Amino acid sequence: MSLSVDSARYFIPGYVSQNQLAQPDSSGSDADPVTANVAQDQASVAPPPISGKPLLASNDLRLLMLRGVDQGGVEGYKDILNAFYADPENRNDPVSFLNKLSPDGIALLKQAQSLPAGASINVDSLNKEEALNLILPHSGQVDLNNDGLIANANGGKGFMFPPPNAPQNVKDAWAGATNGLSDSDKFLLSGKFMLSLMSANLHVDENGKATQTEPGDPGWRNVFAEDGYSYQVAIERFKAGNESNKPYNSNEIYERTKKLLAQLDRAFDKHDVA
């Protein structure tokens, strides 16, 4: 593994000194110092989680831009990811890897994950899922305890659809159905699945009192991981809900939702999603 001179500030000096620090090419070449040593390091480099995919997906890059990460920050983030993937043990012990990063490195990760710049993060207190989700890009986020949510380094929980543990055909169907859609349209669709997860953990007693099972509490349900869960059945329920709510929504919202659900339904059918 090699680190660029500019990226060295994202790592503690002791870690940098243990690794090759690439010097500027005197010939004036602008070759990437990370990829320049791929051949010699190939045997020891752990590939990104999904083999053959780029280090950062196009949506990862878009999110970084929206979060104010400039091009220098993107390259620094890539250096952090390359260093992370260079040793398979880092995935087993991401907290130790985070301890190798300088304050600048942690600050860059916070920005990349859209965490408040002033948020105080005690690296040693993070569990494995929280630590991994501080390091990995959006496309690589993990749900290790399979609760249907993404644990963040600030102690919060987030939702993403498809869930990280969803079958690949679900992810492929979603990618096909949402390709070219606006963020608001994607949110409309993913929000319906998020509400189904939340409503599965909402309980109303005979007196009409509502209580909510919280993530981590006994009895929390991740409906997406339950035997017999059907994405196709869920879509049919969303369609029925759209019809029921038609009198209460504008015609624009009704037609938009109807079109998006039909589009998702076709994509799921094409990819044999049950």
Residue the block writes with tokens 């869930």: 163
Decide: 165 and 146 in contact? Cβ < 8 Å. Answer: yes
Q: What is the pLDDT of residue 41?
A: 39
Give the largest Cα separation in the chain, rounded: 78
- pLDDT tens-digit series, residues 220-232: 999 999 999 999 9
- Read off the pLDDT band of 46 (50, 70, 90): very low
Q: What is the mean pLDDT of residues 13-34?
A: 53
**197 pLDDT more than 70:** yes
β-bridge pairing 202-204 and 210-212:
antiparallel
How far apart are the C-alpha atoms of 60 and 186, rounded to whole Å?
15
Nearest Cα neighbor of 138 from 60, 68, 197 is 60
As separate numbers, helices (DSSP H) first and strands (DSSP E) second, the chain gives 12, 6
How far apart are the C-alpha atoms of 173 and 186, rounded to whole Å?
13
**35 pLDDT more than 50:** no
Q: What is the pLDDT of residue 211?
A: 94
**74 pLDDT more than 90:** yes
- The alpha carbon of residue 21 and the mean position of all alpha carbons in its chain are separated, in whole angstroms, by 30
Average pLDDT, rounded, for the chain: 87
Q: What is the pLDDT of residue 28?
A: 42
Q: What is the mean pLDDT of residues 66-91?
A: 95
Structure tokens at 251: 């015609």
Q: What is the pLDDT of residue 239?
A: 97
**2 pLDDT more than 70:** no
pTM score: 0.83
Percent of the chain clearing pLDDT 70 (strictly above): 84
How far apart are the C-alpha atoms of 160 and 25, rounded to whole Å?
42
Nearest Cα neighbor of 224 from 272, 270, 160, 173 is 160
In one letter, which amino acid is 52? G
How far apart are the C-alpha atoms of 180 and 263, rounded to whole Å?
12
- pLDDT tens-digit series, residues 122-175: 999 999 999 999 999 999 999 999 999 999 999 899 999 999 999 999 999 999
Q: What is the mean pLDDT of residues 1-22?
A: 69
Q: What is the mean pLDDT of residues 27-53?
A: 45
Structure tokens at 116: 């408040």
- pLDDT tens-digit series, residues 85-107: 999 999 999 999 999 999 999 99
Strand partners, 2: 20
Q: What is the pLDDT of residue 52?
A: 64
**30 pLDDT more than 70:** no
In this structure, of 7-16, 123-132, 258-267, the range with the lowest mean pLDDT score is 7-16
